[in-house]
Structure 1
């Protein structure tokens, strides 16, 4: 009996060790499968974000996929942009390629690429990165992410309701670049969601991996904070309308009314409206510039030339007013009137040209296809009206001769109004 026990005891102990090892392996596999997944249905397909973190290092492994219809798609930490760590993906210039751009956000402005966010695409037979079908697909490993971000933007692996945000860009064109610092246009929609990070965290880095397979199929250990909010860039169009409207429409209209109506008052009112529109437009433009990385320094040709033209336009308005007051006082032409007469068209032309550079600078050169013909039509109409008025005056002068005159000044001189109400320079 003792002999049998001496044989069976080692076998029994070996079995216990084997069972313990199997249990440890099973626990390890269960820990490695820890994840939280958020799935949101956009108009063009699902946005999926699934994460597994390593508690010992603060590393995170995550899968991000979303419709490639959008110019860019991003997910970030926190419930708002300020202090967030963001991961932005967009189309690469390589065929079916994808660019990962880790960024930090410092306010409600375009986030900036930061190489302090140590992230890389996970390569391997089990992972596919790029544009797969019509979807961005990225499998990403980021190191020590918990050390980055500010305020609510810091990732806390002990939170059962860690806030995240998501957003996507417009759909009218792609970026197609490998540059991680590429400029991003304003988001078309954005929203927030939460994840239980305690359910998504493994103990060690070797136990963590990018979630895959069924882990990506449905929202798990996560939830949305309502639906995505629609958004668009309203500041850019407002700047374009104000500035292009002032230089391509209002200022030319003021010049035409002076000739057609021979009314200095109408000319002054319209040009004042144009000056105010350009003043507001410049203010909106400066505010807009601070929202984007490529423009916040206000150092581009479009911005500098725009400010120069704006200052010249205000000087032109001031010179015109001063000339008018001097003429009313002394009833004779002034040198200021000559400057006002010839500087006006040059300043207006400078503003019109800057409109073309503005659309290029904003990344929307296709708008020049519409802006160009509109400007062309306005110029033709202005030239025809002024030409017709000049021809009409000459014809009336020839047919009626000189009558009794009243006077109204314009430019550097004055006009005589004959008995028929038309004018002649004298």
Structure 2
């Protein structure tokens, strides 16, 4: 009788203990099917002193590769609790810090302790955690973020294991005033040692209006924005800008080149706008290499249409390239290369450093680069062929610009002669009996100049200063012939 009474009393006390420690926990469901659940419990002593420990539970189906819960309203600077399977029927809890939109790294900040009930049970990963020394308002409102990735298990006990980019994420607020528990004990474990069912137990205060706005629906929108940003900027820098540059040497029509590049220019600004929205909302705009380099490249490319207009004006006026032409060409080439490199940094930022996306991006960029180099060589040979090699011959006195200028002058002279009344020859065709009127413009021009030629008369004074004046030399003296015999003897 006494034994039965003691058992009943003990069971009632255990039930009362479980009620006091777990009834007021606050929960939040997120995930692809709201099948990920987080629960919080804050001891009254911690809430009143705004310091101390609190309890949090992470629970998700094993179909997820990893699940993360972060403190803060955005990823940059967030303290993240990351959970994944260790391959031995248990879970690994990784304490990490996020510096931007890149894989969070391990940190020693905060104190985390895994409690009983942690493990893989009934097809779910469960982590019961006692946490302290974290930047939270234990008696008030706190912002949280969550992220998840579906896929095969990581099966790793390494707390610094590499993880892939998340499939989805959520942002929400939790009011710790509604998560108060009476004692500093694990609120997620019943007296018999079984874990509360995360899919049915707990007070879902996280869904109440007092806890703030639930931004889980914006996770898919943000994924769409960053995906659109990546696709647009890849098309612009890997395809459209290089192809637009190849159009000039291949087609030679400046208006086709200009129209193509202008469309790419507008797409670039659209892609930059999407990237700015995503980076600004996640708090890492201009905080790491990809966003800094991308902003600078886009800003510098804003000057390229102006350089292109100056280059066109220079070429239309002088029929040759000038300094501004080479600035336009090499300035654009350099920025395209930097933009392609920055695209690789963007893929690295998303965690796709070794996947098929990085491989495909690198292969396409290499093919386009090879085609672009080929178009440059083709354009050079084409210009040499059109110029007849005059620019490349040593000692040549005529440049391409001078030849074009002389050609235009000759055409204008011929046109002027054609407008004059010149005799017309009447010729009968060999087959057609009609008489055609034909004028030989070159012959008429030659005869006109020949008739108008008048040589300058030669005068005697023209030789002055050109030749020396002739003067008769003096008469030489005759030698004396008095001693002919002596001279003969000497000889």
**Unpaired runs of at least 5, structure 1:** 1-14, 155-164, 399-411, 417-426
Structure 1 pair 376/97, CA: closer, same or farther in 2 (3 Å)? same
Paired residue secondary structure (1:169):
strand
Question: Which of residues 112, 120, 141 in structure 1 aligns to 2:113?
Answer: 120
Q: Structure 1 residues 207 and 127, CA, compared in 2 at 3 Å: closer, same or farther?
A: closer
Q: How many angstroms does 1:203 deviate by? A: 3.0
Q: Secondary structure at the match of 2:59?
A: strand
SS at match of 2:302: helix
The verdict on how the C-alpha distance between 1:381 and 1:51 changes in structure 2, with shifts beyond 3 A counting, is closer
Which residue of 1 is the match for residue 461 of structure 2? Answer: none
Q: Which residue of 2 aligns with 1:284?
A: 274
- CA shift for structure 1 position 138: 0.9
Higher relative contact order (CA 8 A, sep 6+): 1
1:297-328 alpha-carbon deviations (Å, 9 max, x no partner): 5342x444434443443344322221223444
Please list the CA deviations of residues 346-403 of structure 1 after superposition, one character each: whole Å capped at 9, or x if unmatched: 33223223322321233212221111222233344445666667778888999xxxxx
TM (normalized to structure 2)? 0.55
Pick one of 203, 209, 213 that aligns with 2:194.
213
Contact 1:119 1:142 (C-alpha < 8 Å) held by counterparts? yes
The answer to whether the 8 Å contact 1:243/1:281 transfers is yes
Q: CA deviation at 1:121?
A: 1.9
Aligned residue in 1 for 2:168: 188
Give the 3 Å change call, closer, same or farther, for CA 282–100 of structure 1 in structure 2: same
1:30 aligns with 2:30: no
Aligned to 2:159: 178
Which of 222, 233, 236 aligns to 1:243? It is 233
> Structure 1 CA distance, aligned partners of 2:364 and 2:137?
50
Q: Pick from 333, 355, 359: which aligns with 2:343? A: 355
Do 1:31 and 1:202's aligned partners in 2 also have CA atoms closer than 8 Å?
Answer: no
Alignment-derived partner of residue 344 in structure 1: 332
Distance 1:56 1:299, change over 3 A: closer
Where does 1:90-239 land on structure 2 (aligned, <5 Å)? 90-91=83-84, 97-101=91-95, 119-122=112-115, 126-129=116-119, 135-142=124-131, 148=137, 152-153=141-142, 167-171=146-150, 178=159, 185=165, 188=168, 190=170, 202-205=181-184, 210-211=189-190, 213=194, 215-216=196-197, 219-223=200-204, 229=217, 231=220, 233-239=223-229
Report the Cα distance in structure 2 between the residues aligned to 1:413 and 1:313, rounded to whole angstroms: 31
- The corresponding residue for 1:334 is 322
CA contact (8 A) 1:196 1:221 kept: no
Q: Does 1:47 align with 2:41?
A: no
Equivalenced residue count is 365
Within the alignment, does 1:65 sit opposite 2:59 as a pair? Answer: yes
